[in-house]
Structure 1
Amino acid sequence: MLWTFRTVPQADDFGADTWLNESWRYSGNSNVWSIMSADEELGYVYLPTGTATNDYYGGHRLGDNLFAESLVAVDIETGQRMWHFQFVHHGLWDYDTASAPNLVDVTVDGRPIRAV
């Protein structure tokens, strides 16, 4: 294994403070829920994540619960988080990212844009 990215941040990880009262220790089980996508040119892999916990109850895990129900771009060589977008903060309804991220090229005002 080359690297690990924790979809439930722990201790000093970026995002651990979004699991208030250290609820990441006992409540979080967000995982990569669907097929990952990779962009070889950028060197990114995109992680579509699932819900924060399987019981849907949010009373014991206050906060936004990063990286649950998110799309996370990580460096394919190092596993370093490049960026993320959380679709639902403090999810309660099991809105997992249900499909692989689509990588597309679009043109806006004559300018090409790479998008996910």
Structure 2
Amino acid sequence: MSIEEARAKILEFRDFLINIDRANAMADALPNIAINILLITIILSSALILYEFMYVFLYNVSVIMNVIMAIAYSLISAYVIYIIAVKVPRKIRNAGKDAAVRYAHWDRLLNEVYQALLPYLNL
């Protein structure tokens, strides 16, 4: 096995370790993401129930209250959509970022080892 083949195998092993660390980080982040999605569902359902409740009982009392409740429900819905569309994917993406950083120094170490071995290999 040549030095280049050994280096390729080591880099392949590094990529394997990075993938494992990313998978572990994502698996660790899943309960937090699941709790966030559950809370979002509860908040949105509660807001809808509250809006419908206010609509039924306050319809004859005040049109302004219905408008306020509709605006509040719309804002809550927009925030929930923002969380689902932006924050949850960001948490998933950021969960595995540390893995590549943890093994980033391997390239430098391989170059140092290659330079140290070069005089002894008579290449």
Whose RCO is larger (CA < 8 A, sep 6+)?
2
Larger Rg: 2
Q: Which category of TM-score, normalised to the shorter sequence, fits these structures? A: under 0.3
Taking structure 1 as the reference length, the TM-score comes to 0.20
Task: Return the TM-score normalized by structure 2.
Answer: 0.19
